[in-house]
Amino acid sequence: SQTIHQWPATLVQPVGSPLSLECTVEGTSNPNLYWYRQAAGRGLQLLFYSVGIGQISSEVPQNLSASRPQDRQFILSSKKLLLSDSGFYLCAWSVRGEAFFGQGTRLTVV
Partner 1 sequence: GESVGLHLPTLSVQEGDNSIINCAYSNSASDYFIWYKQESGKGPQFIIDIRSNMDKRQGQRVTVLLNKTVKHLSLQIAATQPGDSAVYFCAEINQAGTALIFGKGTTLSVSS
- The reply on whether position 51 binds partner 1 by CB under 8 A is yes
Q: Which range touches partner 1 (CB under 8 A), out of 20-28, 61-69, 74-82, 88-96?
A: 88-96
- The reply on whether position 54 binds partner 1 by CB under 8 A is no
Which one of residues 59, 63, 84, 110 is an interface residue with partner 1 (CB under 8 A)? 59
Helix (H/G/I), strand (E/B), else coil: 74? strand
Closest distance to partner 1 from the beta carbon of 65 (Å): 17
In the chain, where do the E strands start and end? 3-7, 10-13, 19-26, 32-38, 44-52, 55-58, 65-70, 73-78, 87-94, 99-101, 105-109
- Residues 77 and 95: beta-carbon distance below 8 Å: no
Which one of residues 13, 32, 62, 67 is an interface residue with partner 1 (CB under 8 A)? 32
What is the DSSP pairing of strand 73-78 with strand 19-26? antiparallel
- The reply on whether position 103 binds partner 1 by CB under 8 A is yes
End-to-end CA distance of the chain: 38
**By the criterion CB under 8 A, which residues form the site for partner 1?**
32, 34, 36, 42-46, 49, 51, 57, 59, 90, 92, 94, 97-104, 106
